[in-house]
Every structure is written in structure tokens, then in C-alpha cells.
Structure 1
Amino acid sequence: MTFARLLLLTPLMLTTGCFGSDRIVPVSGVVTLDGEPLSRAVVGFEPIAQEGDLEAGYGSYAKTDDQGRYALRHLQEGEGALVGQHRVSVSTVVGKEGPNGEILGLTKERVPARYNNNTELVVEVPPGGTDEANLELVSK
């Protein structure tokens, strides 16, 4: 690669390859299932790449408390989530790790499949963050 080409690509690499903490904002909320708080659920926010972006960035996750409250933690930057649209999944499946790394004794999923791996939930994380990223799930 020529030096001139490298100079042209450097700004692109900096904007798409690095996700600085200035784009990470606090995100929290409450998860309910049929109007009741969903405790001990894992909430995952996975950024959706926007048109023209090469990468979407790292996701964020949280576990709900007994009142269904959660606060996201970014996989690389600490507390919060990247600004922008996210595909959101919620699951209550828990398993114990066996002596050889295998997963044993999975619990029954309490959340409908449409909110798990192939989720239909999309949440927009605003530039200032939010404490109202509430997820109102329904079982029917």
C-alpha cells in the first residue's frame, strides 16, 4: 500500500475501527413480562450497523434485579451502550457449567422466542443516554 493511500484510509479506519467512550452513554430501564417485573433476565443490546458503516461496534448487556431493573454494561468501555439503534434480546435461561466446560441443567425459558436470538425488539439509544429504556414484553 502506498503512503498516499494509507493517509487517505487513516480517517476511515479511525472512525470505523475505534468506538470511543464519547459514543458510550448510560442506558437503563425496566423489563416487564405481561405487566410484571421480569427478574433475573439477561438483556443484550447489539448495535445495528448504519448504512455506510463497516462495523456496528461492541454490544452491551445487563442482568435484571428482582424489580426487573437493569443498567447496561458495554463489552469494552464500562457502563452504558453505543449511541444508535440496537437489536435487543432478553432471556431467562440459566445453566451451570460442568467439570469439562459443558453446560448442564438449563432452566426453562420464561420469555417468548420472539425476544431471544431472532429478536424483533429494536431500541434507539439517544446521544444523551436514557434511564427509560423500558422493555414491555408480552407472552401472547
Structure 2
Amino acid sequence: MLLPLLVLSGCFSSEKIVPVSGVVTLDGEPLADAVIGFEPIAAAGQLEAGQGSYARSNAEGRFVLVSLYDGAGALVGPHRVSVSTVVGKEGPNGEILGLTKERVPSRYNNDTELTFDVPPGGTAEANLELKRK
């Protein structure tokens, strides 16, 4: 899940990183232990969008994004947002073992339709209201 975020690399300015936090819910209930990924969307004509950010939600569904290279926050601008609850353990040969069942519909993870525009001053209201139907 985080692999696409980890592939992004390079030197990015921390001036564009702002604090981002919120609450993720599924059908109105807090979604605990979800991995939330914010992947910047490249501007027209650009190949590289910048570094991604991620978080894990707590029991109340609250999350605080962490940039892969610059600490807390996310880049300013539009992002594709993914949410997943799949958990697995790495086996002795690097394989993934014992994956848990995904609780989040695919339209929010691998085939995400979620987007969020991170404002220049950051936000504590990056709330993600997911629905099964």
C-alpha cells in the first residue's frame, strides 16, 4: 500500500509542507488502524508531483499526516487519497503472509476516487467520510 509513496524520491522543499490532520470514518463510524496515503497530483505538463505523506488512524479515526522526507504534514496542492485496512506480516523470504480482509471499498484504496486539496496554511479538517455503498 505504501510502496507507491516510497517510490517517490528526490529533493523537495520543506517550505511547501504544511500540517494536515483529520478523522476518517466508514459509514459514520470512526475507522481505526487504517493507513491513509496522500499522493500529490502532478500539474499539467509535469512528470513529478512531489513526495507523498501517510498516517495511521487511531481508535477514534484521527490521523496526522507525516511527509516521507520532511516530517509532519503534506505538500500544498491536490492529492489522490487512499485508505486501506489490510495488514500482513513479512515472511522469511520477503513475501507477505496472513493478510487481513480489507474493510474499505476498493474505490478508496487501490482504485481510489478520493482527492483532497491541501490548503497553503494546512488543515486539521482533512476529514474522510467513506461509505460502503
Normalising by structure 1, report the TM-score: 0.86
Identity %: 75
What residue in structure 2 maps to residue 11 of structure 1?
A: none
Uncovered stretches (5+) of structure 2, i.e. residues with no partner: 1-9
User: Are 2:130 and 1:137 aligned?
Assistant: yes
Q: For this pair of structures, how many residues does the alignment match?
A: 124
Q: Distance in 1 between matches of 2:132 and 2:110?
A: 16
The alpha-carbon deviation at position 52 of structure 1 amounts to: 3.6
Q: Distance in 1 between matches of 2:124 and 2:100?
A: 29
Uncovered stretches (5+) of structure 1, i.e. residues with no partner: 1-16
Greater C-alpha Rg: 1
- Which moves more between the two structures, 24-33 or 97-106? 97-106
Normalising by structure 2, report the TM-score: 0.90
User: Are 2:33 and 1:40 aligned?
Assistant: yes
The equivalent position to 2:121 in structure 1, one of 116, 125, 128, is 128
Q: State the Cα RMSD in Å.
A: 1.0
What residue in structure 2 maps to residue 98 of structure 1?
A: 91
- Which moves more between the two structures, 116-125 or 49-58? 49-58
Q: Deviations over 1:94-121 (max 9, x none)?
A: 0011111111000000000100111000
What residue in structure 1 maps to residue 14 of structure 2?
A: 21
1:72-83 → structure 2 map (5 Å cutoff):
72-83=65-76
- Which moves more between the two structures, 36-45 or 92-101? 92-101
Q: Distance in 2 between matches of 1:52 and 1:118?
A: 23
Greater helix share, 1 or 2? 1
